[in-house]
Amino acid sequence: MKAVHPVSRLADFRTDRRVLLLCALAVPIGAIGAVVAKVLLWLIAAITNAAFFHRLSAAPADPAAHALGAWVIVVPVVGSLVIGLMARYGSEKIRGHGIPEALEAILLGRSLINPKVAVLKPVSSALSIGTGGPFGAEGPIIMTGGAFGSIFAQAFHLTAAERKTLLVAGAAAGMSAVFATPVAAVLLAVELLLFEWKPRSFIPVAVAAMIAAVVRGPLLGSGPLFPVAAHLALTPRELGLALLVGIVVGLGSGALTALVYGAEDLFAKLPIHWMWWPALGGLVVGVGGWLDPRVLGVGYDTIHRLLEGHLLGATLLGLMLAKALVWAIALGSGTSGGVLAPLLMIGGALGTLVGASTGIGDASLWAMVGMAGMMGGTMRSPLTGMVFILELTHDLNTLPALLIGSVAALAVTVLLLKRSILTEKLARRGQHIAREYSVDVFELARVGDVMDPNPPLARADLTVDELVRRVADGDSALGRRQGTIVVDAHDRLVGVLTRADLLRAVQSPVAGRRPLAEVAVRTPVVAYQDETLHDAHARMLSHRIGRLPVVTRGEPHRVIGYLGRADILAARERLQREEEVRERGPMLGAGSA
């Protein structure tokens, strides 16, 4: 029979058929996400009509068209006061824009979200935005969709990793339904929420996002949210200017992040309970809305006008500064609302100001580049920012400029800021998130690459006392390891004896005269030379042991090596050297031909 090559046992991905179960569960989650998005937008419209126009209606309404005069100052204060009470006596998780809370649930909460949050978050966000809060609906819908995904997953026997997949599927479904951007929703899941790149999670999330996009049609309509006139193919000058716009927007992104958390720090110094902070933030929103009504609400109409190139000059500068200040203070106060729509407005305004001042291209192009850059830099999700603007507008020719702008903004913010606007909140709670993903070094290394080929061996007929004496006399093979592999007269594996086993044995004079075969752990867990270090390490963790005899698959009783914790760390050390040691390549080294 033909021998099986060791590599044939390994696969590119570890995904198994359970992904089909997750896809099946993602279908109703996607539909639920679309329904939740519809309910949230309906609530926002109903509250906006009641608060600013004193009518019972759920038709789309722009609070900037109000006729309340100075009384508009009161509306956000009342709404924010109610939100403070909901957070104090309902759930503190509804404070903020929702994405950090989703990240916290994924990374630290085993993807379990309290059902109370699934109800209070959309209600509080609708109340905040409907009473003039300068926020977007995407953060709340991501948190709410994720909450429903988590609750749905808890009805089934799933692992925490599988619950995470369904939580993120719900979040992606909500975003897909609100903005009609299924591809960007999947990219956001990959870049921000999943913390992995695996078909096990990617495929179900994509299923949920697409189902939500399909269901969105009859619920909210189809087509791009902000259609614009298509641009022609871009020139090298326009692409070069896109780089400048991205850099400036990246600097603006850093300033905006500092402004938000500076406002939060100021609120933290107030001698009053945090429950009252949103009301103070609402007062700032009200005053800002009185001076410039366009800062109120999500501002989709303003975003669309930016994308059409209809806002320019001093008017645009005033809008950008007012929106940035009001939004940062309101968000820093701990009220409920999202970050994406404000980032689009501020980024679009900044991009237009920079690009249009050069006379190159048109204002619409620079608004798009600014929006992509602000989203890519502030949220550290450049691919999401690029594709998001593309799906919002369906203007394919701008794709190269969107890529340049979003990547340039990311480069600036990564170099200037340690954390993003999303992870800074978690860092202030004592939690750290690393967002650089790479292939696991344990997946690349084999056991044979790092094992000790000279394992510490002892004969099974040796007594405990004799082994102790050999270790005490300085036997290098036995003394340098925490375990001893016990073999018979034919060097066949019998068991493993750890230092702890040895210490327990020597406590009894009778046990000291027993042969090692009687005190060693029989039929030990083993590793194979040709398997990945990941598999061997996982076996160690599942059995709660720190060392494994290494054998061959053809002769499972013949010991050829020893794998301990120090050997596993050697693989990490190799990766560390590749990251830190600088040297010339062999083609350029001294003495090369």
pLDDT tens-digit readout, 118-135: 788 788 888 989 999 888
Q: Specify whether the CB–CB gap between 50 and 63 falls below 8 A.
A: no
**441-579, CATH topology level:** CBS-domain (3.10.580)
Q: What's the rounded Cα separation, in Å, for the pair 212 and 144? A: 14
pLDDT the model gives residue 585: 59
pLDDT bracket for residue 12 (50, 70, 90)? confident
pLDDT digits (tens, 9 = 90+) for 53-83: 999 998 888 898 888 999 999 999 999 999 9
What is the per-residue pLDDT for 384? 94
- The b-or-e profile of 203-223 (16+ CB within 10 A means b, else e) is bbbbbbbbbbbbbbeebbeee
For position 1, what pLDDT does the model report?
Answer: 42
Chain Cα centroid distance, residue 434? 9
114 versus 445: the higher-pLDDT residue is 445
Interval 553-567 mean pLDDT: 88
CA dist 561 and 453 (Å) reads 4
377 pLDDT band, cuts 50/70/90, is very high
Residue 506 — φ and ψ, nearest 5°? -75, -10
Cβ–Cβ contacts within 10 Å for residue 271, how many?
A: 4
pLDDT band at 383 (very low <50, low <70, confident <90, very high): very high
Give span(s): CATH 1.10.3080.10, the chain: 18-220, 236-427
Give me the pLDDT at residue 339, please.
82
pLDDT at position 476: 54
Question: Which of 157-166, 270-279, 280-289, 577-586 has the weakest average pLDDT?
Answer: 577-586
Q: Stretch 159-171: mean pLDDT, rounded?
A: 88
Q: In this structure, how many other beta carbons lie within 10 angstroms of the beta carbon of residue 443?
A: 12
| SS3 call for 549 | strand
Nearest Cα to 447, choosing from 306, 586, 548, 324? Answer: 548
How far is residue 11 from each of residues 7, 125, 440, 443, 538, measured CA to CA in Å? Answer: 8, 45, 14, 11, 17
For the chain, what is the radius of gyration of the CA atoms? Answer: 30
One-letter amino acid identity for 222? S
Q: What is the mean pLDDT of residues 339-359?
A: 91
Mean pLDDT calculated for residue range 377-392: 93
Q: Name the band, by pLDDT with cuts 50, 70 and 90, for residue 148.
A: confident
Res 345: pLDDT: 93
- pLDDT of 207-252, one tens digit each? 999 999 999 999 988 888 899 988 998 999 999 999 999 999 999 9
pLDDT at 574: 75
**Site of tokens 């950090």:** 100
Q: Residue 284: what pLDDT?
A: 94
What pLDDT, on the 0 to 100 scale, is given for residue 85? 92
Confidence label for 593 from pLDDT (cuts 50, 70 and 90) = very low
- Residue 588's pLDDT band, with cuts at 50, 70 and 90, is low
Q: What whole-number distance in Å separates Cα of residue 70 and Cα of residue 137? A: 26
Question: What is the structure's pLDDT at 109?
Answer: 66
Of 173, 198, 207, 183, which Cα lies nearest the Cα of 22?
207
User: What pLDDT, on a 0 to 100 scale, did the predictor assign at position 17?
Assistant: 87
DSSP 8-class letter at 230 = P
pLDDT, position 592: 45
Tell me if the pTM is above 0.85: no
pLDDT above 90 coverage of the chain, percent = 40
pLDDT at 565: 85
Mean pLDDT of 548-562: 90
Phi, psi (5° rounding) for residue 400? -60, -40
Of the options 1.25.40.10, 1.10.3080.10, 1.10.8.870, 2.60.40.420, the CATH number for the domain spanning 236-427: 1.10.3080.10
Helix (H, G, I), strand (E, B) or coil at 108: coil
pLDDT above 50: residue 554: yes
pLDDT at 412: 96
Residues 6 or more apart whose CB falls under 8 angstroms from that of 440 comprise 534
Q: Which residue has the higher pLDDT, 115 or 553?
A: 553
Residues recorded for the chain: 593
Query: Tell me: the pLDDT tens digits for 289-339?
Result: 999 998 998 888 889 999 998 888 888 899 999 999 999 999 889 887 778
Give the number of other CB atoms < 10 A from CB of residue 578: 9
CB 297 within 8 A of CB 131: no
What is the per-residue pLDDT across 426-439, written as a single tens digit (0 to 9) for each? 777 777 777 777 77
Residue 389 binned pLDDT confidence (cut-offs 50, 70, 90): very high
Angle made by CA atoms 366, 368, 373, in degrees to the nearest 5: 90
Q: What is the pLDDT of residues 463-505, one digit of tens each?
A: 877 777 777 766 655 656 778 888 888 888 988 888 777 777 7
- Percent of the residues in the chain that have a pLDDT greater than 70, as a whole number: 90
Q: What is the pLDDT of residue 8?
A: 58
Sign, Cα dihedral of 80, 82, 88, 92:
negative
- The pLDDT of residue 428 is 76
Q: List, as one string, the DSSP characters of 432-500.
A: ---------HHHH-BHHHHSBSS--EEETTSBHHHHHHHHHTT-HHHHTSSEEEEE-TT-BEEEEEEHH
Residues of each domain in the chain carrying CATH 3.10.580.10: 441-579
Amino acid letter, 589 = G
Q: Are 485 and 458 in contact (CB under 8 A)?
A: yes
Q: How far apart are CA 563 and CA 556, in angstroms?
A: 15
Q: In the CATH scheme, what architecture does the domain 18-220 have?
A: Orthogonal Bundle (1.10)
What pLDDT does 126 receive? 86
Contact 92, 132 (CB under 8 A): no
Q: Give the mean pLDDT of the chain.
A: 85
- In this structure, the strands spanning 493-498 and 457-459 are unpaired
pLDDT category of residue 508 using cuts at 50, 70 and 90 = low
**Short-list 131, 145, 144, 112, CA closest to 52:** 131
| The pair of three-digit structure tokens given for residue 238, joined into one six-digit string | 């326009």
DSSP string, 47-94: HHHHHHH-----S---GGG---GGGGGHHHHHHHHHHHHHHHHT-GGG
